[in-house]
Every structure is written in C-alpha cells, then in structure tokens.
Amino acid sequence: MSEKIMPDAVDEAVDAAGAVGAERDSAADEAIEAQDSQENMEAAQAGPEEADDAEASAEAIARLEADVAAARQEAAANLEQMKRVAADFQNSKRRQEKQLAEAIDRAGAHFVQGALPILDDFDLAFQNAPADLSDEDAAWVDGFRQIQKKFTDLLTNQGVEKIPLDGEFDPNLHEAISSEPSDDVESGRIIETLRTGYTYKGRVLRPAMVRIAM
C-alpha cells in the first residue's frame, strides 16, 4: 500500500509546486505590468510640465534676442548721433575760424586804409623837396626816407602791395583821371600815376589814379 501512495504524493507535490510557480509568475507579471503602468502614468503627468518648460525657455530666448536687437539698434542710433554731433562741431569750428580770419582781415584792411594818407604825405613831401639841400638838410630827408621805408616794409609784411606805376591800363587796378594823346606812350598805357594804389592780400584796397594815352 505504501508503494501506491508514494507516487501519488509525489505527483501531488509536483502539481502543488507547479501551481505555486505559476502563481509566482503571474504575480511577477502583474507587478511588472503595474510598474509599467505607473511609469506610463508618471510620463503622462511629466509630459505637460516638460512642454511648459520648453515653451518658457523659448519665450525667454525670444525676449533676450529682442532685447539684444533693440540694444544694437539703440547703439547704432547713438553712434550715428555722435557722428552728427562731431561733424557739427567740426563745421562750427571751421566756420568760427573762418569768421575770425575774416574779422582779422577786415581789421587789418581798416588799419591799412587809415595808414594810406600817411604814405601819400611821404610821397608828396619827397616829390616837393628842394633840390639844393644842404648836407644837414639832406641828412634829415634821408632819415625820413628811412622812416618811410620801415613803414612801407611793415605794411608789406601784412600783405600790402603797391599797384604798378606804369604799364597797361587795367580798370580793375587803375582809375583813369584823364586820357590824352602821347608821342612817347602807346595807346591804352599809363602816362603818369597821380596817386599810388594799393592791394591788401590780393584785393584792391585803393585803385591807382592815372593818366592814360589815347
């Protein structure tokens, strides 16, 4: 009887062990499925948050790019304004320098204009000086000639020049007082200068008064 019971017990033990193994495998499968489901749920919950983070990052980058573009535009505008200010300053400086030079020229011309009668008086005095002067008087005259020369040199250094006393008549430089025939001078040329003319820095300060040949 014991020989019959023994195989049956073995079979039952085997069946029980198989059942336990199946239950264990089923429980393991259920645990894996539960874990996968939990992970899927967590992934589903995390998806919108990650999307929000990406959208926020894109918006931040867009704002930064806009700020950089605005800063560059402002810097370019400031640079252009600085260039205009610098150009205006240079133009103003050149204009002031020109105005100053013109004012100095006008002041110089005014001074020379006032000095011309003195030169005329020297010329008239020497033209009318007696020919038979004593040595002492001649020395005095020579002294005044030296004064005249120094004064003339001073004016020359300031840009004053005499208009030529002879040559062809030029209406820009000469003022004709009379026109008369002459055997010695060609027509249209100066016979005599009655009053010396002067230019100041290339501009006619006073035309020469002349007689010209017909």
Name the phi and psi angles at 141, rounded to 5. Answer: -65, -45
Single residue among 119, 152, 167 that ends a domain in this structure: 119
Specify the pLDDT at position 5.
42
Specify the pLDDT at position 32.
52
DSSP 71-99: HHHHHHHHHHHHHHHHHHHHHHHHHHHHH
Specify the pLDDT at position 14.
43
Nearest-angstrom CA–CA distance, 11 and 65: 78
| Nearest Cα residue to 172 out of 152, 212, 199, 193 | 199
What does the DSSP 8-state code read for residue 173? T
| Nearest Cα residue to 163 out of 196, 135, 187 | 196
Single residue among 119, 153, 178 that ends a domain in this structure: 119
- Same domain for 110 and 181, yes or no, is no
Structural contact between residues 200 and 109, judged by C-beta atoms closer than 8 angstroms? yes
- Same domain for 146 and 65, yes or no, is no
Total number of domains constituting the chain: 2
Nearest-angstrom CA–CA distance, 159 and 109: 10
- Same domain for 154 and 177, yes or no, is yes
Specify the pLDDT at position 171.
92
Structural contact between residues 211 and 168, judged by C-beta atoms closer than 8 angstroms? no
- Same domain for 3 and 26, yes or no, is yes
- Same domain for 130 and 71, yes or no, is no
- CATH at residue 133: 2.30.22.10
Domain carrying residue 102? 1-119
Specify the pLDDT at position 128.
86
Q: Model pTM?
A: 0.57
Single residue among 119, 134, 156 that ends a domain in this structure: 119
- Same domain for 4 and 75, yes or no, is yes
- 10-residue averages of pLDDT along the chain (214 residues): 45 48 53 56 55 78 88 91 92 92 88 90 88 86 92 91 91 93 90 92 92 91
Return all residues near 199 (Cβ < 8 A) that are at least 6 apart.
160, 161, 163, 173, 205
- Same domain for 96 and 142, yes or no, is no
The sign of the CA dihedral 198, 203, 208, 212 is: positive
| The two three-digit tokens of residue 16, written as one number | 């029980």
Strands across the sheet containing 198-200: 160-162, 198-200, 203-206
- Same domain for 63 and 168, yes or no, is no
- Same domain for 156 and 75, yes or no, is no
